[in-house]
Amino acid sequence: MQQKVLVYYTGGTIGMTAERPRRPDPNFRTNMANALRAVPGIPEWDFDALQTPLDSSSMTPSHWESIARYIESRQHQYRAFVILHGTDTMAYTTSALTFMIRGLTKPIIFTGSQVPLAMPGGDARANLIASLRLAGDYRLPRAEVCLVFGGKVLRGCRATKVSAEEWAAFDSPNFPPLARATEDGIELGEQVGLPPVEEAGVALQVQEFTQTEVGLLRLFPGISARITENFLRSPLKGAVLHAFGSGNGPSDPLFRRVLREAIQRREHRVVIVACTQCLRGSVDLSLYETGLGAEGVISGYDMTAEAAVAKLFWLLSVESDPREVERRMQQNERGELTRPR
């Protein structure tokens, strides 16, 4: 078995210069080697980078596929992949690759930093060390897309960015960390809620997101039916509603009718999923009269908005029947949600 780990820099703060405005650091590879020299528990690693590193704010589904295809083409050469990525949309990318890649047998570990590696005293070195140690001594029961940041190893489709400045920039509010990084190495977590097992012997496959007509709408007091109607017009095929509390929305009859009509259309029907605006907790559409279930909105349970968007991209690309998309959106496909018992 190949023992080396591949570090792939796609862009982001970790590989930028210390000076403002920050730009990709031409010496990043050398700086990284110097920062990791003589660190115990680090496996051998190779380095590669996008020819033009990309700010994560500019990431698109086509870039996600490019990263997945890159991993696919090198899957037999390395024991694990450490992907360096900007923090702003990292949780979208980790969620996307969780659904995009089938038959994963090698761990894919994302990390980045709030401060460039070129600046002393930041978080970049610690995140690199934790990611490489995990890659070199991967003891989780199954290969997963993980996000390593601030001492935590998070399931990729459960992670969300919670701070624009703190070292602990990411959290997994509704699911415990898979592991934690300490000065001595990696301490495994309780391993609860393992992702569903795929069929044995499935070769790694990358599913292109061919249907990306998906939107994300955050509800707020006073949101008008007209704005919502315009949002739900064709070519939209799937929508994540960032709803109040346990999946509630305005009681305005016009607002309700707009949702109902978009869901019931014979042509250009929209699959609408409710996720909670709260950092923690799950959606229960039947708990209150203001729950959106009566209009045909389906529950995203405790999914993050990032995971729900990525899952809609995926299911709309592989399923032609909106009803089947709705059914599978409410099933735990990759460890992204917990259904109430």
In one letter, which amino acid is 162? V
Candidates 15, 50, 45; CA nearest to 29 is 15
The answer to whether the beta carbons of residues 47 and 74 sit under 8 Å apart is: no
Residue 269 per-residue DSSP state = -
Tell me the angle at which helices 90-100 and 61-73 cross, rounded to the nearest 10 degrees. 60
Burial, 29: exposed, middle or buried (Cβ in 10 Å; 0-12, 13-18, 19+)? Answer: middle
Task: Tell me which residues are annotated as active site.
Answer: 13
What CA–CA distances, in Å, run from 210 to 1, 206, 207, 214, 215? 34, 12, 9, 11, 15
CA distances from 87 to 166, 179, 221, 338 (A): 12, 20, 30, 25
- Long-range residue pairs from 146-149, CB within 8 A, at least 24 positions apart, any chain: 146/94, 146/107, 146/108, 146/109, 146/110, 146/178, 147/90, 147/91, 147/94, 147/109, 147/110, 147/111, 148/109, 148/110, 148/111, 148/181, 149/87, 149/111, 149/112
Q: How far apart are CA 65 and CA 220, in angstroms?
A: 33
Distance between CA atoms of 54 and 93, rounded to whole angstroms?
Answer: 13
DSSP 279: S
Q: Which letter does DSSP use for residue 248 in this model?
A: B
The two tokens of residue 59 are 């990431």
Nearest to 86 by CA among 9, 7, 173: 9
